[in-house]
Amino acid sequence: MTTLYTNIACLTGIGATETALRGKELAALQAISNAWLLIEDAAIAGYGDQSTLPVNKPANIIDVQGGTILPAWCDSHTHLVFGASREQEFVDKIKGLSYAEIAAKGGGILHSAHQLASLSEDELFRLAWQRLQEANALGTGAIEIKSGYGLTVASELKMLRVIRRLKEKAAAPIKASFLGAHAYPAAYKENHEGYLRLIEEEMLPVIAAEKLADYIDVFCEDGFFSAAETERILMAGKRYGLKPKIHANQLHLSGGVQVGVKHHAISVDHLETMDADAIQTLAAASTIGTLLPSAAFFLRMAYQPARQLIDAGAAIALATDFNPGSSPGLDMHFVVSLACIQMKMLPEEAINAATINGAAALELQQITGSISKGKRADFIITKPIPSLAYIPYAFSTNLVQQVLLGGVPVK
């Protein structure tokens, strides 16, 4: 089917790029005022300003009534598959416990692993599918989803099989990351070697044989996985064809950025705790720094040094880190607002970081993340808004008029 969208006040996020935008490029967000957009089946077939409107119009014409069109958000870091919310910890934190203290007393990730163990694959799929529908309705298209609340062979595989089913049914691309190294399970608290070998010898071979993951992730952090342990797991992942995409420098200077860059990680994510060496190392690499400001917001931590990273020439993306412990929010619009309000990113930088650079952090920049001929028709039509800066400015307002994924309207 061919559909012509007309009366677009601003069509933005236009263009194609081979690699993530970095440094000054990040602020360059191409836009056309008074535009049209032509969709053929699932793909973008053309666009332009009103004066170039196609003469042969398709039967299906949609007047977006002065709305703005931008690419769908690409959320390149989520933990969307989990058993249940953890608002009791949220209250514990209000009462003064730290994230690390909650984790140390068996809460946190281990609590989620305990909850997940008792749920069937079907039940987990049902819960995750609902969350994915919510994300899509908020404007998220491509998304990454991690395992990591399993921490046993059976449960890690169960999570990854849920993600595979989500991939098969979803309206937009999904990438899966194996995060067996999210926390040491209680049974291996004193036996790290045993758990590392479980990952290497029992999890990875099955994951590779069943093609259950695209990436390997590790929570490189004090009290979780050291830089040396991270390196060992990344090397094991590599033997099974999994590229690294890791949690780095969230709570401490963990060495995660350096180990990720050394192993050509697609991205190193979090980056709340950075020093000059970590910033320079990332700026000199092709690895993308994925900033997760809603996790910093929720944990009342210092925000990621976005300005320093951009000014140093690093490639950065924005994502939600959606998970029940440190970021129970799926809304990329809120992440974009936080990036501007708290990290002083320009609206154009934040939109690029949340779309095309998010796509690059999933190696999907050739197929989604921008308005470009031949790319998937994954885009958001907003209600009429005065300018692009209004998007981050109007931080808790639902600006979505319609979301289209693969050319199909999201219900």
Site residues, ligand NIG (CB under 6 A): 79, 108-109, 112, 219, 247, 250, 295, 321, 323-326
Work out how close the CB of 52 gets to ligand NIG at its nearest, in angstroms, rounded to a whole number: 45
Does residue 349 bind Fe ion (CB under 5 A)? no
Nearer to ligand NIG, 176 or 295 (CB): 295
Does residue 144 bind Fe ion (CB under 5 A)? no
Chosen residue from 144, 156, 231, 321 binding Fe ion by CB under 5 A: 321
Identify whether the C-beta of residue 148 lies closer than 8 Å to the C-beta of residue 109.
yes
* Residue 326 interacts with which of ligand NIG, Fe ion, none, CB < 5 to 8 Å by class: ligand NIG
* Residue 325 interacts with which of ligand NIG, Fe ion, none, CB < 5 to 8 Å by class: ligand NIG
Nearest-CB residue for Fe ion = 321
* Residue 112 interacts with which of ligand NIG, Fe ion, none, CB < 5 to 8 Å by class: ligand NIG
* Residue 368 interacts with which of Fe ion, ligand NIG, none, CB < 5 to 8 Å by class: none
Q: Hey, how many other C-beta atoms are within 10 angstroms of the C-beta on 62?
A: 16
Nearer to ligand NIG, 223 or 384 (CB): 223
Identify whether the C-beta of residue 328 lies closer than 8 Å to the C-beta of residue 295.
no
Specify the stretch interacting with Fe ion by CB under 5 A; choose among 48-56, 307-315, 320-328, 341-349. Answer: 320-328
Nearer to ligand NIG, 185 or 324 (CB): 324
Phi and psi torsions of 83, nearest 5°: -80, -50
Angle at 252 between CA 250 and CA 256, to 5 degrees: 70
Distance between first and last Cα of the chain = 18
Site size toward Fe ion, by CB under 5 A: 1
C-alpha dihedral, 356 to 359 to 365 to 371, nearest 10°: -40
Q: Whole-angstrom Cα distance, residue 331 to residue 371?
A: 21
Identify whether the C-beta of residue 304 lies closer than 8 Å to the C-beta of residue 317.
no
Identify whether the C-beta of residue 359 lies closer than 8 Å to the C-beta of residue 119.
no
The token pair that represents 209 in the structure block: 């044989």
Nearer to ligand NIG, 109 or 157 (CB): 109
Does residue 348 bind Fe ion (CB under 5 A)? no
Work out how close the CB of 298 gets to Fe ion at its nearest, in angstroms, rounded to a whole number: 12
Q: Whole-angstrom Cα distance, residue 321 to residue 334?
A: 12
* Residue 108 interacts with which of ligand NIG, Fe ion, none, CB < 5 to 8 Å by class: ligand NIG
Q: Are strands 67-71 and 379-384 parallel, antiparallel or unpaired?
A: antiparallel
Q: Whole-angstrom Cα distance, residue 370 to residue 10?
A: 14
Could you identify the residue written with the tokens 């003469």?
A: 55
Nearer to ligand NIG, 320 or 370 (CB): 320
Which residues of the shown chain bind Fe ion in the complex (CB under 5 A)? 321
